[in-house]
Amino acid sequence: MSHRSLSRMLAVRFAGTFALGLVVVGWWTHAGTTRLLRRQLDQSLRGAALLAADRFRTDTGPVAVESFLDRDRERYGDLINRYLILRDSAGRVIRSVPGFAADLPVDTGALRRARAGESAYVDGSWNHSGLREIFIPVATPGAPGEVVQVAASTAPLDAWVRSDLALLVGVVIALSALTFWGAGRLATSAVRPVREITDHAALVAAGTLDRRITAHADVEEFGGLVSVLNEMFDRLERAFEAQRRFVADVSHELRSPLAALQGEVEVALRKERSPDQYRATLRSALEETERLTALVGDLLWLTRVRGGLELPRRAAVDPNAVAREAVTRAGLLGGAPVRIQADFRHPGTATAMDPQLVGRVLDALIHNAVRYAPEGPISVTTDARDGGAAYVVEDRGPGVAAADLPHVFDPFYRADEARTRGDGMGLGLTVAATIARMHDGTLTASNRAGGGARFELFLPG
């Protein structure tokens, strides 16, 4: 995929915009000046025509013209460039100044309008040159219908128009090129900090996530970008660290039962054993296998949740019924060694939830309470709060250290770095917190005032 240069694009757009502005202003100025010059030429022709008409009306004698100008047509056109002709009503030449002006063509339409008493401007050509002409009537006593025709070559005006247009094009090209160069320099200096920030960001790799971008962090325009990038690197560092720890914990959690399973099988194979001994080994192996199966199942379920493949199947159910079934599954009723105190305060109104997933949360909380307080008692309470349902599971165990409370829902979290078998919290509480979030609810952990842990699950209505 090809990449466009931002500095070049900015320079081209700026120079193009500037050039377009120059063209518009230059063309407007050129057109306005051209119109002004043509208006002045028309005014000059009209003035010459009025003077000529007055002269022809009062003086019927020959008009004196320098003989060399009369002979030198080119010089006459350069110096005077006014051709005067007096025509009769039929358009025939009566008098002309200079004499060769009698060769000028006559525009019959303009002649007809002049005979009718109007002044008429026309454009024509003569000797391969453009002409601007005016026809006006002459009120000569005894000679009705006479018309004065005054013409001027437009060659000087056309030459000026061409030179002015060429100058305009040259100025636009030169200034556009200069603007492109200047805009390029300006754009390059403007985006240079972005390149330097990019270079700094490129130095941050998986093994150097502790590095941060410092280039132009104190510049107002780039400080926000640098701050956002550094915050992103902070999140990446935490995510990488969590991922590293998660992989290490999973490896440990998988290795421990596998090692135990392998050791028990190896011991069983060293010599002949009795059927009871084989059955005991198989029971132990089955326990480790079940532990592995549950762990792998939790990992796969969490992966599906993060991929959006697992969604809660909500239904309107009685929150007390879900809690009652969880207590029954725990086997803490009817003579179990661990006592449970169930207090269902919720009025029993239906609440939208996935009963299987919520039951899984309660199973994990009760199992966690039994693990750390096997002597009991363990209390399971339901209540109505803020239009939803609240579940509270409490035990009388040692509780959770204050430093560990923020991490009890992290996968395989341990209070120390000694990764011995059984020290980790596994994935039960992680799965429980995930289910709470799936229901837009919360799962919090705290310590009881009298000792022991307290877990509260809240599900909005």
- In this predicted model, what pLDDT tens digit does every residue of 322-341 receive, in sequence order? 999 999 888 744 445 667 88
**pLDDT at residue 66 is higher than 60:** no
Q: Is 35 left (phi over 0), alpha (psi -120 to 50) or beta?
A: alpha
Q: Could you tell me if 399 and 268 lie in one domain? A: no
Q: Which of 285, 306, 327 is the last residue of a domain?
A: 306
Mean pLDDT of 291-303: 81
Tokens for 416?
A: 């120390």
Say which residue, 391 or 212, is predicted with more confidence.
Answer: 391
Confidence at residue 422, expressed as pLDDT on a 0 to 100 scale? 43
Same domain, 343 and 436: yes
Domain end among 273, 306, 339 = 306
125: enclosing H helix or E strand: strand 120-126
* DSSP for residue 63: P
Helices 6-58, 155-202: axis angle to 10 degrees equals 170
What CA–CA distance (Å, rounded) separates 393 from 113? 112
Within-domain flag for 361: yes
Please state, rounded to an integer, the average pLDDT across all residues of the chain: 81
- Is the bond leading into 355 cis (omega within 30 degrees of zero)? no
Where residue 350 sits, what CATH number does that domain have? 3.30.565.10
**Among 127, 177, 122, which Cα is nearest to 151's?**
122
| 404 occurs within a structural domain | yes
Number of H helices, E strands in the chain: 10, 12
pLDDT tens digits for 13-27? 888 888 888 888 888
Q: Against a cut of 0.85, is the pTM above it?
A: no
Residues 66 and 118 in one domain: yes
Residues 46 and 158 in one domain: yes
Do 16 and 34 lie in one domain? The reply is: yes
Distance separating alpha carbons of residues 412 and 253, to the nearest angstrom: 8
442 in any annotated domain: yes
- Tell me which of 125, 147, 163 is where a domain ends: 163
Within a domain: residue 159?
Answer: yes
Whether residue 418 is found in the same domain as residue 298: no
Instruction: Look up residue 123 and give its DSSP letter.
Output: E
* 302 and 319, same domain (yes or no): no
Domain of 355, in residue numbers: 315-459
The total number of structural domains in the chain stands at 3
Q: Write the CB contacts of 154 (distance below 8 Å, at least 6 apart in sequence).
A: 41, 123, 129, 130, 131, 132
260 and 333 share a domain? no
Residue 242 sits in a domain whose CATH number is 1.10.287.130
Kindly write down the DSSP assignment for every residue of 280-337, as one continuous string.
Answer: HHHHHHHHHHHHHHHHHHHHHHHHHHHTT------EEE-HHHHHHHHHHHTT-SSS-S
Judgement on whether residues 281 and 343 belong to the same structural domain of the protein: no
pLDDT confidence of 210, banded at 50, 70, 90? Answer: low
In this structure, of 115-124, 424-433, 443-452, the range with the lowest mean pLDDT score is 424-433
- Whether residues 32 and 147 share a domain: the answer is yes
Model confidence at 36, in pLDDT bands (50, 70, 90)? Answer: very high
| Residues 299 and 349 both lie in one domain | no
> Which position has the higher pLDDT, 220 or 274?
274
